[in-house]
Structure 1
Amino acid sequence: MTARSVLREPAFLRLWTGTTASGLATWALPFVLGLAVVDGSVTAVGLGLALGVRTAGFLAAVPVSGVLADRYSRRATVGWSGAAAVLGSVAVAGGLGGPLWLLLAGCALAGAGQGACRPAFQALVVEVVDADRRQQANAAMTFSVRASTLVAPALTALLATAAGVRVIALVIAALWVVAAALPPRGLRRPAPAGARPGFVAEFAEGIAEARRHPWFLAGLGALTAVIATGYSATGVALPLVSRDTYGGATVLAAALTGYTAGALLGAVLVSRWRPAARGWTALAGLGVYALAPLALLTPLPVWVVVGAYVICGIGIELFNVPWFTAVQREVDPATLARVSSLDFLLSYGLAPLGLALIAPAIATFGVQPVLLACAAVCVLAPALAALAPGARRFSREPATTP
């Protein structure tokens, strides 16, 4: 079946809509804070603090949510995490142009809601979609998020011009209402007999489950390395190169748009493609991100830089969709949310560290050596992960012969 046929299922359509709303709201908050700096509602120092506490809230909530989503209902976890994000977004609206403490409290609470819903959403896919259609389902969800980020900046900027940043913050709160209320109830899971272990012990059970899958640990290490280096090169070096080499922001905007367009193409491709060596194919797609820093090494025609980012976008979805599908397929459903939380905690949690380190590295060693190092990591990390047991198919089970 195609991803479109999955969307005809009412339960998945509700989950897809809720996930899309949460993804769009998560993306929109930093953008709105940036617009608030432009219109003077927030200072540059306030922006840095707001983004910092948002990230801290996200990281603090992810492991807690993983445990709670496995302990209780995944649907309930989505509900309370979305409610937290609603309250946080409303507080952000009050803090724009108002007390800084209110803005920071709202960003922390919104970040916690954003982080708390991720593992629960991933686990809900298993309860709503049958195994044969999960790859199409994951492709449909990533397609919607990429499409939203492609068109949302212009719409958000237009709305900010017409109504102001406070109104946009309230729109974000409304998106979180949709994300909290719309997803369906999943399967009823029997409560385990006897007393439950403590929070730390339950999270440790998730780590133990992750260790049962060497391909998962290796793939997560590769993903973390690529995000901390390749993504950081895009976040820091691309704006510098666009300004200094190409004389403005045109290449920056074109490259990021090309990346999103490539990700859309990748999501469509992977919704239908079932390579035999699905793990190696996914890791190869992840390694393609080395093209991003390589395209910035020397002055190249603009179309070459943009084309490199299009290919990177295709490659990242060739990794993402099979990766999420494999985790949903291979991990014990009873610990799925905890393993997913470990995934988000490491891969996205270390991204700010990469962003914080790459600018001083460029200042110390220069742009070209840092870009070469980032490209080398983007190639070597997936290549090493491909050597792990089970990496060929992202599975502990050997391939079956027809």
Structure 2
Amino acid sequence: MKPPAAPPHRPSARRLRPAWAGRNYSLLTGAAVITNLGSHGALIASAFAVLEAGGSGADVGLVAAARTLPLVLFLLIGGALADRMPRHRVMVAANALNCVSQAAFAVLVLAGDPQLWQMMLLTALCGTGTAFFNPAAEGMLLSSVGGEHANRAFALFRMAMNGAGIGGAALGGALIAAIGPGWVLAVDAAAFALAGALRAALDVGRTAGRPPGGGLLADLREGWVEFRTRPWLWSIVLQFSVVVAVVGAAEAVYGPLVARDRLGGPAPWGLALACFGAGTIAGAVLMMVWKPRRLLLVGTVCVFPLALPSAGLAVPLPVWGLCAVMFVSGTAIEVFGVNWMTTMHQEIPEEKFSRVSAYDWFGSVSMLPLATAVAGPVESAVGRTAALWGCAALVVVVTAAVLLVPDVRRLTRRPSPPKAGSPARPADAGSRPADADPGPAAGEAPGSAAPAGAAAGV
């Protein structure tokens, strides 16, 4: 008798992904794709929900400020907790809060006649969840890959995340025009629920244990020392406190207003945001194969194009022109984002990832609530066109100033990052060999959207 034929070979999930992409990395990437599909549409939906309720540009700014103010208030606490507790638990709890707040926002809008204070409150709850989520998520991602593959892993993660943003922004704009913003907010709530379930499945059993700290305040002080002793770190975070503020005001307040008055409504604005997402994919593809030696010099130069969207709205460019500048700025900021994450992975010890990330996020978004809140009054005082040109000019000025910092120009890529628990090394000036005594300490996105990543986001 012949032995039974062997069943056809089916490649395992492990073989369908790169060898360096472990289970946690894959789950984190999948969850980020899901949340970005929902949140990119929801950002547009919240602005048009305010406008459809009879709100003004100032009201749109207030709702946007309500989302970002909790980031400033709770980010540092969130970072300290994420370095003390299992990071995935912090992420799941934050996703649950985001899900509930967005679901309530959707019901409020679908029921009709939402009040400004109600929209601000629910948006603030969503921002609170984000404040605890971001440092934990960035720390979890940074610890999920090895140094040899960090550049490629971060580029692939951001490519997947931002690719989802293309569909989310374009689909969100189209759905808002077709069925209204309430349903888009409901989709975002469902996306948070599904992503939270994926993040609950993260495997932390093999994660290196982190030494117990001396209390929450001691942990915050330790993170502050890591932050302030690195000029490359705090100077770029200061730069992004301005860049994120003016880009956020242009995107959250002026962009929807220009779209309503000059471009034809939410669908063209959603298309422009999708082109930004397409640019980020192009930048991520580039960074899969390009490993610039001077990480921060190349990254900082690529921040200059972030002035282009504000300038394009000020003209204003036709839809195709605005899409073109959004694509260019998306490509450039993705180059910065991957270099920034690679630098953080290289320079910061693993057990301090979340705390340093929290200071990064805190500094980067600290001025965003003020910028979005005053965007309407500034428009009334000087006009929308002048306000947008001012946003573009500020991006150029602060980026040029950061290039004066020696560590930003000189920090170079090393073969491998510091081991977890070892002291972080200062920025390599490019003239020392990698194993030379570094001497005294000399001294990070997301988008989301960006810490310095806030513009490039996680």
Q: Which TM class, normalised by the smaller chain length?
A: 0.7 to 0.9
1:275-290 equivalence runs, <5 A: 275-290=292-307
Residue aligning to 2:201:
182
- Identical counterparts, % of pairs: 27
Residue aligning to 1:397:
428
Contact 2:74–2:131 under 8 Å retained in 1? yes
1:374 aligns with 2:391: yes
1:18 aligns with 2:35: no
Residue aligning to 2:367:
350
1:33-48 equivalence runs, <5 A: 33=46, 44=55
Residues 164/208 of structure 1: CA separation in 2 closer, same or farther (3 Å cut):
closer
Distance (whole Å) between structure 2 residues aligned to residue 250 and residue 82 of structure 1: 28
Deviation at 1:107, TM superposition (A): 4.3
Deviation at 1:131, TM superposition (A): 0.9
Contact 1:70–1:334 under 8 Å retained in 2? yes
* TM-score, scaled relative to structure 2: 0.73
Counterpart of 1:266 in 2: which secondary structure?
helix
Query: Which stretches in structure 2 are left out of the alignment for 5+ residues?
Result: 1-16, 413-426, 435-458
Deviation at 1:331, TM superposition (A): 1.5
1:220 aligns with 2:237: yes
1:264 aligns with 2:277: no
Cα deviation per residue 1:33-76 (whole Å; 9 max; x = unaligned)? 457668x8x77599887655443444433222100111222233
Distance (whole Å) between structure 1 residues aligned to residue 87 and residue 272 of structure 2: 37
Distance (whole Å) between structure 1 residues aligned to residue 94 and residue 87 of structure 2: 11
Residue aligning to 1:172:
191
Residues 291/107 of structure 1: CA separation in 2 closer, same or farther (3 Å cut):
closer
More displaced 10-residue stretch of structure 1: 4-13 or 262-271: 4-13
Distance (whole Å) between structure 2 residues aligned to residue 108 and residue 115 of structure 1: 10
Deviation at 1:112, TM superposition (A): 2.2
Contact 1:7–1:13 under 8 Å retained in 2? no
Deviation at 1:25, TM superposition (A): 4.5
Counterpart of 2:208 in 1: which secondary structure?
coil
Contact 1:25–1:176 under 8 Å retained in 2? no
Distance (whole Å) between structure 2 residues aligned to residue 289 and residue 266 of structure 1: 14
Deviation at 1:309, TM superposition (A): 2.0
1:67-106 equivalence runs, <5 A: 67-92=80-105, 95=108, 97=111
Q: Quick one: which amino acid aligns to residue 302 of structure 2?
A: G
* CA RMSD between the two structures: 3.6
- How many aligned residue pairs are there? 394
Counterpart of 2:408 in 1: which secondary structure?
coil
Q: Quick one: which amino acid aligns to residue 385 of structure 1?
A: V
Q: Quick one: which amino acid aligns to residue 144 of structure 1?
A: A
Counterpart of 1:340 in 2: which secondary structure?
helix
Deviation at 1:246, TM superposition (A): 5.7
Distance (whole Å) between structure 1 residues aligned to residue 181 and residue 370 of structure 2: 35
Residue aligning to 2:79:
66
Deviation at 1:240, TM superposition (A): 4.8
1:211 aligns with 2:223: no
Residue aligning to 2:447:
none
Contact 1:92–1:169 under 8 Å retained in 2? no
Q: Which residue among 367, 373, 378 is the counterpart of 1:361?
A: 378
Counterpart of 2:303 in 1: which secondary structure?
helix
Residues 158/95 of structure 1: CA separation in 2 closer, same or farther (3 Å cut):
closer
Distance (whole Å) between structure 2 residues aligned to residue 392 and residue 115 of structure 1: 31
* TM-score, scaled relative to structure 1: 0.82
Residue aligning to 2:451:
none
Query: Which stretches in structure 1 are left out of the alignment for 5+ residues?
Result: none
More helix by share: 1
1:150 aligns with 2:150: no
Contact 1:75–1:124 under 8 Å retained in 2? yes
Deviation at 1:93, TM superposition (A): 5.3
Residue aligning to 1:5:
18
Q: Quick one: which amino acid aligns to residue 146 of structure 1?
A: N
Q: Quick one: which amino acid aligns to residue 187 of structure 1?
A: T
Residue aligning to 2:135:
119
More displaced 10-residue stretch of structure 1: 132-141 or 196-205: 196-205
Counterpart of 1:5 in 2: which secondary structure?
coil
Q: Quick one: which amino acid aligns to residue 98 of structure 2?
A: A
Deviation at 1:17, TM superposition (A): 1.5
Cα deviation per residue 1:207-227 (whole Å; 9 max; x = unaligned)? 211112100111111222112
Deviation at 1:281, TM superposition (A): 0.9
Residues 24/212 of structure 1: CA separation in 2 closer, same or farther (3 Å cut):
farther
Residues 6/162 of structure 1: CA separation in 2 closer, same or farther (3 Å cut):
farther
